[in-house]
Amino acid sequence: MSEIIGSSVPRVDAAEKVTGAAKFADDLQFGPGLLYGRLVRSPHAHARIINVDATTALALPGVKAVVTGEDTPGYIGLYLQDRHIFATDRVRYVGDPVAGVVATSEEIAEQACKLVAVEYEPLPAVFDPEEATKPGAPILHPELAQYKVANFIFPKAGTNISNHFKIRKGNVDAAWAQCDVIIEETYRVPQIQHVPIEPHIAVAQAEQSGKITLWASSQSPFAQRDLIAKSLGISQGDLRVVAPYIGGGFGSKAGVSMEACAVVMAQSVPGRSVKLRLTREEEFFCAFVRQGLIAHIKMGGTKDGRILAIKTAYYWDAGAYTEYGVNITRASGYSSTGPYAIPNVWTDSYCCYTNHPVGGPMRGFGMPEIHWGIEQTIDLLADRLGMDGRDLRFKNCVKTGSEVVTGWTMHPTGLSECIEKASAAIEWGREEPASAPHRKRGKGMAIMWKAPAMPPNAGSSAYVRLNEDATVTVGIGGQEIGQGTFTVMAQMAAASLGVPVDWVRIATPVDTQYSPYEWQTVASRLTWSMGNAVVAAARHARQQILELVAEHWNENVEDLDIKDGTVISYKSEETLSLKNMVVYGLPKTGDGGWRGGPVLGRGSFMPTYVTGLDPETGQGPRSVVHYTVGCQAVDLEVDTETGQIEILRVAAAFDVGKAINPDQVRAQIEGGVVQGISSAILEQLQLKDGVVLNPSFVDYRIATTTDMPREIIPIIVEVAQDDGPWGARGIGEHAMVPTAPAIANAVYNAVGVRLPSPPLTAERIFLAMQRGG
């Protein structure tokens, strides 16, 4: 049975409407002809689209165009192309974009959205990822077999499984008989939102010539250019993406979401710019959410503290479209043991279509979710074995030379040192009194690992250009999202070239027409990957300068150096400032002309040593570029009268290879701990029949200063990475990974209750204590 209804569009509150001042600013940047867009969204979790009628909407004064799925027949997606920019034949989640209205104001566009009549035929929906894999479940993507997919993703046609990643290592069945203790548990991790303070926003302009410019709050300008161009059948050279500073991303602004809608809407009004933004309500369920997870874990060990086997089944609630979720599923598979050297492993990691909001990348990329279960299971195993959890971790954690889950040999790592330093910082093993009779004190810990989850050929490039006064302009394609990458790139360029760091300027904004290529600002990879490209570019520029001066002085390059912006000779003790000569060159003797010219260094980096994995066993020579590892130890109190947690201190130790900027590393650790606490004790998208019930900060709480620990103790461990600049690895995501299980373990230590699913709210802890007596 079909039904015809007006559009579903989240209301724009008065406080959110475009103010006169904001419109004036828009007009200054994009011209007085700027138009505004709003999206018609599905009210159904799953339905067939019978008809879309925009006649009434187009008749409304001020409406310039309406676009629908008929305008976007192509598919789009990063690792799996499984969706249209606007829904065509069916909608698969509440909020799926069905049409876009372009008008002279946002208010008129919103009004017109309600006039777009869409006829739907509701279809059966599925909301549980494990149920989605069972026979008889509604198939959400009948065309799955025809979708284009990366060669390391393995969809199962005729099912709701868009990727099935396997690990088969050793002999798990035989290992169980050798185990003295076996733990079996099921854990659930709910969807949460990134909630960046700046919502998604984009402005697009299509010229009469067909060339398009997209201004977007984006972590992935080059990926956006590529994916949108392919979907619309245009050249990447005709699509320019400009990405200014971002007001918060955390993964939600990676890849493509609403930005493609803005481009299509701009194509309908050539010569005019169209601005599209998500309201705060839309941000909660129409942008990427962190995927939900059901994790079944079986782990066994011996009386002497050896973990012999682990068997895991991960069912990822990836939502309606899984272009990014398929790789989260893969990353969780090749990291499924956690940072432990376990000889017998059986893993099935399933990426499951459901009629929930679209799952995508979020800080940690699946690692906070899987470590929630792994690290609690480790504590349960330690308890049953009569061991201290710290000692069990120390004995079994990966060390330099360990064979990891995919058969690769672990690179030099400082995880053991992280465990030692974090546990010492909270005086692990020392029982300390609670602050009041109705409070109980507990300590817990968790360790982690995470590799950059990316294709094997994700590349970086950079340029270094010297100006007349010897200041340096560094061009990069990676984005500054608050993690400090521009500062670190300036430091690397200065150190490699031999100039003061305050001489270096980063070329901004990132602009695909002028900036050098960068895959994406994701995976905590920029310090390592883009850093290598910047170092190469600076060294290329440095070599040009030294060769020029060596010829000018008739000396050998090996005898020269650049210090503080001056070329010096260790042989003749000559000196020469870089000023002017890095652009104008140097004169030859006897007025015989000039040598040299403008100095421009170029550099690029791409790992060439990451190999594929056997699709049946998950084994291979090298599955990832490296792992960043760490440990967090938590000291907290639980109020037995209310269940309220107060976190007293968190010690967080991470092996970063080399801290290029120690203050920024500490800030990243502190920020990750804060976000980890928020996800552990507060955050959850409440979903019912595909509808998000708490799409506002009134009902969706994030941590504030009142929820913070009294003390965060960031600890830097440095065991150099062989292919990193100065041995550096990334640290952007990792500090969020172990926080939640460390808190859960500390709560159990305090009051003896363990919840299989976050958030660890006061109410849930109190009720668990009541049930436990």
Q: Would you please indicate which residues are annotated as catalytic (active-site) residues?
A: 733
- Tokens for 684? 């959850």
- Tokens for 164? 């099935």
CA distances from 413 to 462, 551, 651, 667, 765 (A): 29, 44, 19, 22, 36
SS3 751: helix
d(CA 56, CA 113): 10
SS3 45: coil
CA distances from 722 to 367, 488, 524, 660, 727 (A): 24, 19, 17, 15, 6
d(CA 72, CA 85): 6
- Tokens for 623? 């599955």
Output the DSSP codes for 658-676. S-SSHHHHHHHHHHHHHHH
d(CA 695, CA 280): 8
Give the contacts of 63 (CB within 8 A, at least 6 positions apart). Answer: 57, 101, 102, 103, 108, 109, 112
Q: H-helix or E-strand containing 166?
A: strand 161-169
Answer yes or no: are the C-beta atoms of 618 and 168 closer than 8 Å: yes
CA angle, residues 170, 174, 180, in degrees to nearest 5: 110
How many residues are recorded in the chain?
773
d(CA 491, CA 484): 11
d(CA 565, CA 563): 5
d(CA 465, CA 677): 43
Answer yes or no: are the C-beta atoms of 765 and 757 closer than 8 Å: no
SS3 485: helix
- Tokens for 682? 């507060």
